[in-house]
């Protein structure tokens, strides 16, 4: 399965890794993973259906929520084929072109996630700072344009990665560290100079996750400043309450992502099991928890789900 360290080749096949040391338990471990995939895919599809069916949810906040559901569906659907193939059937081989395509989509949808969270932070700031002009500022065409910009940014920034990797010769064992293809894993395989890949990867991280997180922090500083200027304590609480779901989504997204990045850079000697656990938390937690949080915290979403299921209004 591995290749000689002295040979230089461009492998046509790479090999994914399940959960080290627990290979005999893969079939059992696949049960909770299947459940998590079911929750993530079903939850985000339900959010999309409810927003589409309920005309009262055609507001900017819910349109951004539908974008978040689409990007998280993309992440889940990008990883499910290889993850379950490895755990259920021990099918670890993947063609390099398919691996590069999977890497592209996973990271592309992750960048979209970050962009949508930033747009949602701006949405909450406008709603609190200038509520009377909220629907005049965030009009349907502007939201569509913003969604297009978020998508194009993700696609254009990720497009060079497969070509930058494809041009490099491989001289190391062609075994990846996860059950799916990630850029930090793939960049470890070539024996040629990967500084261009590393520098471009750093540029993408800073210009997306770094810039987005900074803008989100600034948005919440401005939101807090605006809220503190409100005289009524009841109105302050009401304004902050509208941000709870989004703030939770930001924490759920960025804490695992930052932890995973730190592991890749400073925890190289840690157990492979820790790396796999952190990567799975990063990819699974936001798509699973965000639909649950918004369904619990948002009365309009709860009502829409109740009507969709034929139950009484919440």
Average pLDDT over all residues of the chain: 88
List, for residues 285-301, the tens digit of each pLDDT value.
999 999 999 988 888 88
Task: Give percent above pLDDT 90 in the chain.
Answer: 54
The whole-number pLDDT of residue 11 equals 62
Q: Which residues, in sequence order, are CB contacts of 124 under 8 Å at separation 6+?
A: 61, 219, 223, 242, 243, 246
Task: Flag whether pLDDT at 281 surpasses 90.
Answer: no
Taking the C-alpha atoms of residue 314 and residue 306, their distance in angstroms, rounded to an integer, is 7
Taking the C-alpha atoms of residue 277 and residue 98, their distance in angstroms, rounded to an integer, is 23
The whole-number pLDDT of residue 154 equals 96
Task: Flag whether pLDDT at 8 surpasses 70.
Answer: no
Taking the C-alpha atoms of residue 8 and residue 11, their distance in angstroms, rounded to an integer, is 9
Distances (CA, A) of 164 to 2, 97, 142, 276, 304: 23, 13, 34, 25, 46
- Structural domain spans, the chain: 14-309
List, for residues 143-167, the tens digit of each pLDDT value.
999 999 999 999 999 999 999 998 8
Region 222-249: mean pLDDT is 88
Instruction: Look up residue 234 and give its two tokens.
Output: 């009841």
Region 15-32: mean pLDDT is 87
List, for residues 46-66, the tens digit of each pLDDT value.
999 999 988 888 889 999 999
List, for residues 93-144, the tens digit of each pLDDT value.
999 999 999 999 999 999 999 999 999 999 999 999 988 899 899 998 999 9
Q: For the purposes of burial, counting CB atoms within 10 Å of the CB of 271, is it exposed (0-12), middle (13-18) or buried (19 or more)?
A: exposed
Q: Which residues, in sequence order, are CB contacts of 172 under 8 Å at separation 6+?
A: 3, 5, 188, 189, 190, 191
Tell me the fold of 14-309: Rhopdopsin 7-helix transmembrane proteins (1.20.1070)
Reported confidence tier of residue 86, pLDDT bands at 50, 70, 90: very high
Would you call 247 helix, strand, or coil by DSSP? helix
Q: For the purposes of burial, counting CB atoms within 10 Å of the CB of 65, is it exposed (0-12), middle (13-18) or buried (19 or more)?
A: buried
């Amino acid at each position: 399965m591995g290749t000689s360290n002295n040979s230089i080749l461009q492998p046509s096949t790479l090999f994914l890794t399940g959960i080290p040391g627990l290979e005999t338990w893969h079939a059992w471990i696949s049960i909770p993973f299947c459940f998590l995939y079911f929750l993530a895919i079903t939850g985000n599809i339900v959010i999309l259906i409810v927003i589409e069916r309920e005309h009262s949810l055609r507001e900017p906040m819910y349109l951004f929520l539908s974008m978040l559901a689409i990007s998280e569906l993309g992440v889940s659907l990008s990883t499910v084929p290889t993850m379950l193939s490895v755990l259920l059937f021990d099918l670890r081989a993947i063609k390099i072109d398919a691996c590069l395509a999977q890497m592209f989509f996973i990271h592309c949808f992750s960048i979209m996630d970050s962009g949508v969270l930033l747009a949602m932070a701006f949405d909450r700031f406008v709603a609190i700072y200038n509520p009377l002009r909220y629907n005049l500022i965030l009009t349907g065409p502007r939201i569509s344009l913003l969604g297009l910009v978020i998508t194009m940014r993700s696609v254009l920034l990720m497009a060079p990665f497969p070509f930058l990797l494809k041009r490099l010769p491989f001289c190391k064992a062609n075994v990846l560290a996860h059950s799916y293809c990630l850029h930090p894993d793939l960049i470890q395989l070539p024996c040629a100079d990967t500084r261009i890949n590393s520098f471009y990867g750093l540029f993408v991280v800073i210009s997306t996750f770094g810039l987005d997180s900074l803008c989100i922090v600034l948005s919440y500083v401005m939101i807090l400043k605006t809220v503190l200027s409100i005289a009524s304590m009841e109105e302050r609480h009401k304004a902050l309450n509208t941000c709870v779901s989004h703030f939770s989504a930001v924490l759920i997204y960025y804490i695992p992502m930052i932890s995973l990045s730190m592991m890749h850079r400073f925890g190289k000697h840690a157990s492979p099991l820790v790396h796999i656990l952190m990567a799975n938390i990063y990819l699974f937690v936001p798509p699973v928890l965000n639909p649950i949080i918004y369904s619990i915290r948002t009365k309009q979403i709860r009502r829409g789900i109740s009507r969709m299921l034929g139950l009484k209004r919440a």
